[in-house]
Structure 1
């Protein structure tokens, strides 16, 4: 019995009592959280019966947005003209949120980080219909850093938004990639596509185009998102869907290799310029061929 920890009966009883109290507190917190959101849902639906989800500014403990099941906004703070949700109802909701937020444990209660990123968090309201929501996670390599690209597709009214990688060129990036997808033959199903490139670039941002497009299409169901996990994408997209070469493709491939990626996809015109050992390199002429390659990886 050498090495066995001996605990006296009093300490053991106190330990059990502490554990039991902790479990009771967790249960009470969950009941409080779910009850509060049910109450908030009731207040909101008196004015907006189609409300399905809300987004909260958790730092300010204030309601930020209310959306329907298709993801379309019904209300956005500080106010929405012509919205039937009045100031009094919004104040009551904010008071309820201010009471529940300090207890924490929001993720355990089903809250998620919103597209606006922290401190904004989103929670689905009780009774809301299940939403067809799919996500994908891809990676873009540049000579400077790896960009973490995340996409989410939600069935409903069509919308396409891109956040990053160059903060001043987001609309230009979105329009270029949307045109490239359409001209490559990819008509995205009805729904909202939101893509976020985590990592800011002041130069070389267009090298992330291919990663953004492939990740968006994976979220929209054009390939299995799991095939993107070990692939780094390096390429600018033309409006016609062509994959264009980028400056310092070798530097970008070296970044991918140093970050542990086993495969890189580059423009066909860049293939002969790559001189990095230890990583598989594939060249593609256009976005359609890039997606065909992803489907080939999926079939393996």
Structure 2
């Protein structure tokens, strides 16, 4: 027999009043957020009239970056005497953010997670054209840990930026991956491409090359980024685009399996060094072959 919950009229009225108040609060929060962004946009555009989007450290309420509609950075923290955005303006803007951010509701108001990852969020300013933006999320497996890789491609001034996975070799890694992409028949389009490895590798950083390159290419539209789901990449890239074997590949695959990944992509030459049951292993000898594999995964989805 199904139980029926009987509610007395007073309880029902109180419940309805509570829900009505909640809806009013949500509406007021949205209005507050919209008003704050409009006010902040007015202040920023006094110095930077082409400002179209901002990135904010939502944990500290600090303005991190201002970009134009093409994705070009017009301002980036920290403030310097040569900054186009005076510190008095950033101070006023940040005071506004610190008042409104504790109320939450950012995602509903259009604040997206920035390429730098949380707590950084990006929001378009009122009246700005929405830039063409594509993102991708990939993963590199290393012994003992997974490395989270994010890529963002925004139409505008051509640029290729990479952060991590080893700060001492950041430029070297970027140049190697860009050369591998170009020599495989791919290059950075007329857009700003930013790849970020969330986490630092003290050694074995080149084992993340394949993940960095494949995630970057997914963001440019080379294949459906959804194909990256539950796939771990392990491989160093040569300047010619070949995928080279890495040390401790078996331990890296074990890490991927223990972390719930269903597929690992490794160098062809490492196939004989992998002995992990329960996870699909695919060997590739080049970046181009890895992209063909991902296109197949994309069609399967």
Q: Answer whether TM exceeds 0.5 for this pair.
A: yes
| C-alpha contact 2:184 2:287 (8 A) present in aligned 1 | yes
| Residue of structure 2 in register with 1:186 after alignment | 186
Deviates more, 1:141-150 or 1:91-100: 91-100
Structure 1 portions without partners, runs of 5+ = none
Q: CA deviation at 1:78?
A: 4.5
CA RMSD of aligned residues (A): 2.1
| C-alpha contact 2:56 2:64 (8 A) present in aligned 1 | yes
Deviates more, 1:31-40 or 1:248-257: 248-257
How many Å separate the matches in 1 of 2:110 and 2:176? Answer: 35
Q: CA deviation at 1:81?
A: 4.8
Deviates more, 1:118-127 or 1:33-42: 118-127
| Residue of structure 2 in register with 1:74 after alignment | 74
SS of residue paired to 1:123: strand
- Count residues with an aligned counterpart: 300
Q: What's the TM-score once normalised by structure 1's chain length?
A: 0.91
| Residue of structure 1 in register with 2:272 after alignment | 272
| Residue of structure 2 in register with 1:90 after alignment | 90
How many Å separate the matches in 1 of 2:87 and 2:139? Answer: 43
Q: Which of structure 1's runs of 4+ aligned residues deviate more than 6 A?
A: none
Q: Indicate how the Cα distance of structure 1 residues 85 and 203 shifts in structure 2: closer, same or farther if over 3 A, else same.
A: closer
Q: What's the TM-score once normalised by structure 2's chain length?
A: 0.91
Q: Indicate how the Cα distance of structure 1 residues 64 and 201 shifts in structure 2: closer, same or farther if over 3 A, else same.
A: closer
Q: CA deviation at 1:265?
A: 1.6
| Residue of structure 2 in register with 1:139 after alignment | 139
Q: CA deviation at 1:83?
A: 5.0
Q: CA deviation at 1:88?
A: 4.0
How many Å separate the matches in 2 of 1:249 and 1:228? Answer: 19
| Residue of structure 2 in register with 1:47 after alignment | 47
| Residue of structure 1 in register with 2:282 after alignment | 282
How many Å separate the matches in 1 of 2:262 and 2:90? Answer: 51
Q: Indicate how the Cα distance of structure 1 residues 241 and 99 shifts in structure 2: closer, same or farther if over 3 A, else same.
A: same
Deviates more, 1:236-245 or 1:4-13: 4-13
SS of residue paired to 1:109: coil
Matches within 5 A, 1:49-64: 49-64=49-64
| C-alpha contact 2:257 2:278 (8 A) present in aligned 1 | yes
Q: Indicate how the Cα distance of structure 1 residues 165 and 76 shifts in structure 2: closer, same or farther if over 3 A, else same.
A: closer
Q: Indicate how the Cα distance of structure 1 residues 118 and 138 shifts in structure 2: closer, same or farther if over 3 A, else same.
A: closer
| Residue of structure 1 in register with 2:166 after alignment | 166
How many Å separate the matches in 2 of 1:248 and 1:142? Answer: 8
| Residue of structure 2 in register with 1:34 after alignment | 34
Q: CA deviation at 1:71?
A: 1.9
| Residue of structure 1 in register with 2:234 after alignment | 234
Q: Is 1:112 matched with 2:119? A: no
Q: Indicate how the Cα distance of structure 1 residues 66 and 4 shifts in structure 2: closer, same or farther if over 3 A, else same.
A: same
Q: CA deviation at 1:104?
A: 2.0
Q: CA deviation at 1:187?
A: 1.6
Q: CA deviation at 1:80?
A: 5.0
Structure 2 portions without partners, runs of 5+ = none
SS of residue paired to 1:69: coil
Q: CA deviation at 1:110?
A: 1.2
| C-alpha contact 2:234 2:267 (8 A) present in aligned 1 | yes
| C-alpha contact 1:74 1:83 (8 A) present in aligned 2 | no
SS of residue paired to 2:154: strand
How many Å separate the matches in 2 of 1:24 and 1:298? Answer: 43
Q: Indicate how the Cα distance of structure 1 residues 55 and 152 shifts in structure 2: closer, same or farther if over 3 A, else same.
A: same
Q: Indicate how the Cα distance of structure 1 residues 199 and 62 shifts in structure 2: closer, same or farther if over 3 A, else same.
A: closer
